[in-house]
C-alpha cells in the first residue's frame, strides 16, 4: 500500500507539472475540438495549476516531513522534484514530437509558445530539485557534481547522469534516515557504554583535527550509543618509539584527569604499532584494558622495503624534506617522514615483533579488510593497490592481508561485490556509504563486544 501511494502521488504531481507546461497546447486542442470555455475560466484554471505546481515545488512530498533532520528532508524533496521532472519532461517531449506534424503546420506560434512554456515550467521544477540535492547530498561528491554540470548540456546523456544522481541521493537519505531512527530506537540500550573510555589512535601522516575527524562519522555514532571517546593527539609522522611515547603521555593524562583507571584503545594503521609499543615497552599495560588494531601492518610492507632500497638517497631526502615541511604546517613539531616509513617496512616490523611482546592482562584483537579491485579505492589507494599486490599479495590498497592478524581474535572484512573495503574505508575517511558494509554499524558492534567483555 505504501508503494502504491508513493507512485500514485508521483504520477499526480508529474501530471500537474505536465498540464501547466503544456497549457497552450491543451487550450489549442480544446478549441480544435469545439470546446470553448470563457476566458475567465481559462485564467482561473491556469492560476489554479500555477498554485498547485508552486506548492509541489515548495513541499514536494508531505510524507518526507517524517524524515529526521532538515538536511535529509531537503535532499529527499530534491530527489522527488527531479523524479517529477523526469516524468513530466518525458511526457512533454513526446507531446511536442507527436503534435509537431499537425500543430506546427497549422499554427507555428502555438507550438513554439508551448515549447517555451515547457522549457520554463520544467526548468523551474528541475532547478528547484537539483539545487536542493547539490546543497544537501554528501554521497554524490565532487565527482558526480562535476559530471552533472558538464553533461547537463548533452541531450539524453544528461538524463542518464540525472538518474544516477537521483539514485545516489535517494539511497543516501533513505539509509541515513534509517540509521538515525535506529539510533533513537536503541538509545537507552547504551550499546557502546564500555567500562573504560575509548582512545582512538590515528595512523601515519594524519592528525586529530578539530573540524575534520580522521575517523569520519564513526565517533559520533559511537557517542550516540553511549561511548566516551578520546583521541591520541600525537604527531602525524614519527618513529614508532616516538609516537609510542606521545601516546603514553596521552594515556596517563586521560587517566589522571578522569580517574577512569584504564582505556580501550582502537588504533588504525601505524597507530596499532605505536599503541603496542606504548603498552609493552612504556608500562602502559597497567592503564590499557584492550587494544584493537584496525588494518595495522603488524608484519610490515615488503613493497616499502623495496622502495627504500631502490630509490636514490638524494630523492628520498628531497621527498622527506617536502613532507616534513608540509607536516610542520599542519601542526607537527618535529616530523620525521623517513623514520615513520622505515618503521613500516617488513624488516623493521620483524624485529619489532621480536622485541615488543604482548602484555598479560591486556585483551588484543585485530581487524583487516581487502580491496577487491584497484578501482574500488579512492586516490591514491587505487594506484598503490597493484604495487602492494605484486609484493605483498591481496591488500586493502596499502597493507597486505597477511599483515593484519594480531591478538586473540581477528576479523577479516570485505564485500560480496567487486569493490571491497579499502584502508581508508575502515576509518570512514571519505564518508562514503558502501554497499554491503556499514562502517559505523561495524564499530558499534565492535565496541559493544568490548562492553560484553566488561572492558
3-state secondary structure 169-236: HHHHHHHHHHHHHHHHHCHHHCCCCCCCCEEEECCCCCCCCCCCCCCCCHHHHHHHCCCCEEECCCCC
Percent of the chain exceeding pLDDT 90 equals 55
Grid cell for residue 295 = 588494518
Percent of the chain exceeding pLDDT 70 equals 94
If you average pLDDT over residues 339-350, what whole number do you get?
A: 91
Domain spans of the chain, in order of start: 2-182, 192-452
What pLDDT does residue 1 have?
60
Asked whether the CA dihedral 164, 168, 171, 174 is positive or negative, the reply is: negative
Indicate whether 126 pLDDT > 80: yes
What pLDDT does residue 320 have?
82
255-294: burial string, b at 16+ Cβ within 10 Å, e else: beeeebebbbbbbbbbbbbbbbbbbbbbebbebbbbbbbb
What pLDDT does residue 57 have?
86
Higher pLDDT, residue 42 or 362 = 362
Span of 7-16, 167-176, 210-219, 304-313 with lowest mean pLDDT: 304-313
Tell me the pLDDT band of 337, cut-offs 50, 70 and 90: confident
Indicate whether 227 pLDDT > 80: yes
Question: Are the beta carbons of 349 and 299 closer than 8 angstroms?
Answer: yes
Tell me the pLDDT band of 62, cut-offs 50, 70 and 90: low
Question: Are the beta carbons of 323 and 238 closer than 8 angstroms?
Answer: no
Indicate whether 32 pLDDT > 70: no
3 state SS of 437: strand
pLDDT tens for 378-433 read 777 877 888 888 888 899 999 999 999 999 999 999 998 889 999 999 999 999 99
Q: Report the C-alpha gap between 422 and 389 in whole angstroms.
A: 13
Average pLDDT, the chain: 89
Indicate whether 220 pLDDT > 80: yes
Indicate whether 237 pLDDT > 80: yes
Ordered DSSP codes for 71-134: HHHHHHHHHHHHHHHHHHHHHHHHHHHHHIIIIIHH-HHHHHHHHHHHHHHHHHHHHHHHHHHH
Higher pLDDT, residue 339 or 103 = 339
What pLDDT does residue 23 have?
84
What is the value of pTM for the model shown?
A: 0.87
Question: If we measure between CA atoms, which residue out of 90, 112, 113, 111 comes closest to residue 17?
Answer: 90
What pLDDT does residue 454 have?
94
What pLDDT does residue 158 have?
87
Tell me the pLDDT band of 232, cut-offs 50, 70 and 90: very high
What pLDDT does residue 324 have?
85
Higher pLDDT, residue 155 or 77 = 77
What pLDDT does residue 59 have?
83
Q: In CATH, which of 3.30.429.10, 3.40.50.1820, 3.40.50.300, 3.40.470.10 is domain 192-452?
A: 3.40.50.1820
If you average pLDDT over residues 157-181, what whole number do you get?
A: 92
Q: Report the C-alpha gap between 27 and 25 in whole angstroms.
A: 5
Amino acid at each position: 500500500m505504501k508503494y502504491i501511494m508513493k507512485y500514485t502521488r508521483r504520477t499526480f504531481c508529474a501530471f500537474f507539472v505536465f498540464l501547466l507546461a503544456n497549457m497552450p497546447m491543451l487550450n489549442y486542442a480544446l478549441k480544435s475540438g469545439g470546446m470553448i470555455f470563457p476566458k475567465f475560466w481559462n485564467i482561473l484554471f491556469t492560476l489554479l495549476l500555477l498554485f498547485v505546481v508552486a506548492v509541489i515545488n515548495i513541499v514536494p512530498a508531505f510524507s518526507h516531513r517524517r524524515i529526521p533532520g532538515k538536511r535529509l528532508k531537503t535532499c529527499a524533496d530534491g530527489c522527488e522534484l527531479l523524479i517529477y521532472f523526469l516524468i513530466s519532461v518525458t511526457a512533454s517531449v513526446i507531446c511536442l514530437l507527436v503534435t509537431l506534424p499537425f500543430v506546427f503546420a497549422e499554427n507555428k506560434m502555438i507550438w513554439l509558445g508551448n515549447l517555451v512554456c515547457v522549457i520554463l515550467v520544467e526548468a523551474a521544477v528541475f532547478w528547484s530539485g537539483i539545487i536542493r540535492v547539490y546543497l544537501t547530498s554528501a554521497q554524490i561528491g565532487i565527482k558526480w557534481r562535476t559530471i552533472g554540470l558538464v553533461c547537463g548540456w548533452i541531450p539524453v546523456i544528461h538524463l542518464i547522469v540525472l538518474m544516477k544522481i537521483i539514485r545516489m541521493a535517494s539511497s543516501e537519505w533513505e539509509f541515513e534516515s534509517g540509521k538515525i531512527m535506529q539510533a533513537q530506537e536503541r538509545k537507552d540500550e547504551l550499546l557502546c557504554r564500555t567500562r573504560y573510555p575509548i582512545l582512538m589512535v590515528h595512523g601515519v601522516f594524519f592528525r586529530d583535527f578539530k573540524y575534520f575527524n580522521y575517523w569520519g562519522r564513526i565517533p559520533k555514532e559511537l557517542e550516540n550509543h553511549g561511548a566516551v571517546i578520546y583521541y591520541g593527539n600525537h604527531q602525524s609522522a614519527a618513529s614508532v618509539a616516538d609516537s609510542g611515547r606521545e601516546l603514553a603521555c596521552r594515556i596517563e593524562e586521560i587517566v589522571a584527569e578522569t580517574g577512569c583507571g584504564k582505556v580501550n584503545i582502537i588504533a588504525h594503521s601505524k597507530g596499532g604499532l605505536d599503541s603496542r609499543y606504548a603498552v609493552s615497552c612504556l608500562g602502559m599495560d597497567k592503564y590499557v584494558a584492550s587494544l584493537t588494531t584496525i588494518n595495522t601492518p603488524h608484519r610490515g610492507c615488503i613493497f616499502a622495503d623495496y622502495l627504500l632500497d631502490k630509490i636514490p638517497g638524494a630523492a628520498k631526502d628531497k621527498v622527506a624534506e617536502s613532507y616534513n615541511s608540509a607536516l610542520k604546517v599542519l601542526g607537527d613539531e618535529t616530523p620525521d617522514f623517513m623514520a615513520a616509513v622505515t618503521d613500516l617496512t617488513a624488516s623493521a616490523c620483524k624485529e619489532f615483533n621480536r622485541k615488543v611482546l604482548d602484555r598479560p592482562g591486556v585483551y588484543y584483537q585485530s581487524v583487516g579488510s581487502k580491496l577487491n579491485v584497484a578501482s574500488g579505492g579512492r586516490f591514491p589507494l587505487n594506484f598503490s593497490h597493484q604495487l602492494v599486490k605484486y609484493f605483498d599479495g591481496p591488500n586493502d590498497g596499502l597493507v597486505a592481508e597477511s599483515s593484519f592478524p594480531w591478538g586473540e581474535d581477528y576479523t577479516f572484512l570485505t564485500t560480496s561485490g567487486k569493490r571491497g573495503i579499502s584502508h581508508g574505508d575502515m576509518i570512514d575517511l571519505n564518508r562514503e556509504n558502501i554497499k554491503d558494509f556499514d562502517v559505523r554499524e561495524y564499530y558499534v558492534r565492535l565496541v559493544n563486544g568490548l562492553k560484553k567483555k566488561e572492558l
